[in-house]
Amino acid sequence: MLWQHFRQPFGTGSLERSDAAAEAFDSSRSQQLRVEISLVCQHIEEARFKAFGGVVLLACGSWLCEWLAGKNLALLQQLKSGELVELLSSQLELQPAERPLAFLAEDIVLQLAETIESTDSGKE
């Protein structure tokens, strides 16, 4: 599945209108991932990504955007540390040396959930 996401990535680019965005960096590998999402009624309508790095990072960004699409925001806020890393690692069949890039994806989801939560609490 890794090569499928690399050859035909899902959700590349930027959104014209995003409700939240998050970035994560792996400075030891010089890799960067940015994800933007748009929301409708507490659901992620669309997710887009930009990846600066290698094949695995691009596949992680693609998988993440495909996974995020249609998800309820409550699910993001309920994720436990390591859950998304395990899911992404198994889906893309990541090797142990590639797993740190799955942590970048999980960091992004946690940032998105935090951003949305702080935005929502600021509206009250």
Instruction: Return the percent helix, strand and coil in the chain, to nearest 5.
Output: 50, 25, 25
Sequence letter at residue 83: E
> Would you say 103 and 60 are in contact if contact means Cβ atoms under 8 Å apart?
no
6: nearest Cα among 72, 59, 65, 61: 59
In a domain, 121, yes or no: no
Provide the pLDDT for residue 118: 79
Provide the pLDDT for residue 4: 82
Domain holding 44: CATH number? 3.90.1010.10
Query: What does pLDDT average to in each consecutive run of 10 residues of the chain (124 residues)?
Result: 82 93 90 94 94 92 95 88 92 91 92 83 54
Regarding pTM above 0.85, the answer is: yes
Residue 31 lies in domain: 2-113
Provide the pLDDT for residue 123: 55
Number of structural domains the chain divides into:
1
In a domain, 76, yes or no: yes
In a domain, 65, yes or no: yes
- Alpha-helix residue ranges (DSSP H) falling in 32-98: 55-68, 73-78, 83-92
Provide the pLDDT for residue 66: 94
In a domain, 124, yes or no: no
Provide the pLDDT for residue 116: 84
In a domain, 119, yes or no: no
Provide the pLDDT for residue 122: 52
Provide the pLDDT for residue 121: 57
In a domain, 73, yes or no: yes
